[in-house]
């Protein structure tokens, strides 16, 4: 009886240990992606996308808009067909010289949409829930103005970043649900290095977890700007990403939690080059390490963690295709040559992606 009791305890202990390890280990892997186009339009060039249960929100080269999903799109998973046409709301704005604004930064906040244009005059619109007219909440006239990304800490507090107009990155913040925005003075921000800016490639230069904020800069100098307190104080962090030219550096950043983050970039003029274009942190961005150096993928414009993956699964997209890693970025699998600029996950198996001429839903299997 004593032997049986001890044996039972031993095997119970082994079972607990094994079960715990299996629970912590991320075992989900993808071998393919199925692309279902939601909108095909040759006039689209989408680098910013967001969504809720009712709409897909997007920013394009000549307008921003939203696609009605509430009863409009019916997707049969078995056949991947859309049974109804979407309803699309477009919001066009022209400059005084007749040129159309180009919107590359958008964010959905509690049903409202914020859309920001890139070049001077930089304009930021707030489109309230169900509204057919947008409200101008920020405008900046400066020949150097060029805004790249926008994100929110919560329903009331948000941030947008752009290229420097002085000797610091352009950062504007709101504390009143986006009704008013203030540009931070350079004496509150780290000084830039000549040639340092950011890329308006996928509206993923900013990563937020709680009150913590990480911003990716790029170009001749590429670094991480970090704030622990929702943009009140800032510091610069050096990173080992490829840099030195105006087209090199970090294009996209994502954090799974307060500790684990990933960045991707490269040189979009040499998209197949893959040296020092993927970096990872496990200490909240204090230090970064190059991963998968000299291995595919090369340049990609957007990277996102797969939900519920324990910071293991990542998907990167760009005009050269879709790639996937199941081990924190150490190794990658090329899933598709389909071209996209940006991606946002709906759940651990589905995402919306957008690019030149299209907005699509992706099914990972």
Going by C-beta distance under 8 Å and a sequence separation of 6 or more, which residues neighbour residue 11? none
Reported pTM: 0.90
Residue 26 lies in a domain: no
Domain enclosing residue 342, as ranges? 33-364
Q: Which two tokens stand for residue 281?
A: 């942190």
The larger pLDDT score, comparing residue 74 to residue 49, is at: 49
89 and 98 in contact (C-beta within 8 Å)?
A: no
Q: Work out whether strand 321-325 and strand 333-336 pair parallel, antiparallel, or are unpaired.
A: antiparallel
Where does the pLDDT of residue 103 fall: very low under 50, low under 70, confident under 90, or very high at 90 and above?
very high
Residue 357 lies in a domain: yes
Nearest Cα neighbor of 259 from 310, 222, 225 is 310
Query: What's the whole-number mean pLDDT along residues 304-320?
Result: 98
- Which pLDDT does position 118 carry in this prediction? 96
Residue 331 lies in a domain: yes
- Which pLDDT does position 89 carry in this prediction? 79
Residue 197 lies in a domain: yes
Residue 279 backbone phi and psi in degrees, to 5: -130, 155
How many Cβ atoms are within 10 Å of 229's Cβ, its own excluded? 10
Going by C-beta distance under 8 Å and a sequence separation of 6 or more, which residues neighbour residue 96? none
Per the rule left: phi > 0, alpha: psi between -120 and 50, beta: everything else, 167 is alpha
- Which pLDDT does position 201 carry in this prediction? 97
Going by C-beta distance under 8 Å and a sequence separation of 6 or more, which residues neighbour residue 77? 363
DSSP one-letter string for 342-357: EEEESSSSEEEEEEEE
Check which CATH number belongs to the domain holding 126 and give it: 2.130.10.10
Among 52-56, 115-119, 122-126, the minimum mean pLDDT is found in 52-56
Residue 5 lies in a domain: no
277 and 298 in contact (C-beta within 8 Å)?
A: yes
Residue 4 lies in a domain: no
According to DSSP H, which parts of 25-48 are helical?
A: none
- Summarize pLDDT for 5-38 with one digit per residue, the tens: 344 444 444 444 344 444 344 446 899 999 999 8
Number of domains in the chain: 1
- Summarize pLDDT for 253-283 with one digit per residue, the tens: 999 999 999 999 999 999 999 999 999 999 9
Residue 209 lies in a domain: yes
Residue 344 lies in a domain: yes
């Amino acid at each position: 009886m004593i032997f049986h009791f001890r044996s039972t305890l031993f095997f119970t202990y082994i079972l607990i240990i094994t079960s715990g390890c299996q629970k912590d280990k991320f075992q989900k892997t993808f071998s393919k992606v199925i692309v279902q186009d939601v909108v095909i339009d040759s006039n689209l060039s989408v680098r910013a996308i967001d969504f809720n249960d009712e709409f897909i929100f997007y920013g394009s080269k000549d307008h921003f808009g939203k696609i009605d999903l509430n009863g409009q799109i019916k997707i049969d998973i078995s056949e991947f067909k859309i049974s109804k046409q979407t309803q699309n709301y477009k919001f066009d704005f022209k400059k005084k010289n007749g040129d159309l604004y180009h919107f590359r930064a958008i964010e959905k906040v509690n049903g409202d949409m914020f859309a920001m244009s890139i070049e001077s005059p930089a304009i930021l619109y707030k489109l309230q829930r169900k509204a057919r007219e947008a409200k101008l909440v920020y405008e900046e006239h400066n020949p150097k103005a060029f805004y790249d990304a926008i994100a929110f800490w919560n329903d009331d507090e948000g941030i947008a970043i752009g290229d420097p107009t002085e000797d610091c990155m352009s950062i504007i913040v709101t504390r009143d649900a986006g009704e008013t925005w203030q540009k931070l003075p350079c004496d509150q921000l780290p000084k830039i290095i000549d040639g340092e800016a950011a890329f308006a490639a996928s509206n993923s230069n900013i990563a937020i977890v709680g009150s913590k904020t990480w911003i990716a800069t790029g170009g001749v100098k590429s670094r991480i700007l970090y704030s622990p307190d929702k943009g009140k104080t800032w510091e610069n962090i050096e990173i080992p990403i490829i840099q030195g030219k105006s087209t090199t550096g970090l294009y996209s950043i994502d954090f799974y939690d307060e500790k684990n983050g990933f960045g991707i970039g490269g040189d979009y003029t040499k998209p197949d080059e893959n040296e020092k274009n993927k970096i990872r942190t496990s200490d909240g961005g204090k230090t970064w390490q190059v991963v998968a150096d000299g291995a595919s993928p090369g340049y990609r414009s957007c990277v996102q963690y797969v939900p519920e993956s324990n910071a293991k699964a990542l998907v990167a997209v760009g005009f050269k295709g879709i790639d996937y890693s199941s081990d924190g970025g150490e190794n990658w699998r090329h899933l598709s040559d389909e071209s996209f600029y940006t991606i946002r996950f709906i759940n651990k198996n589905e995402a919306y992606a957008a690019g030149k001429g299209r907005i699509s839903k992706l099914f990972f299997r």
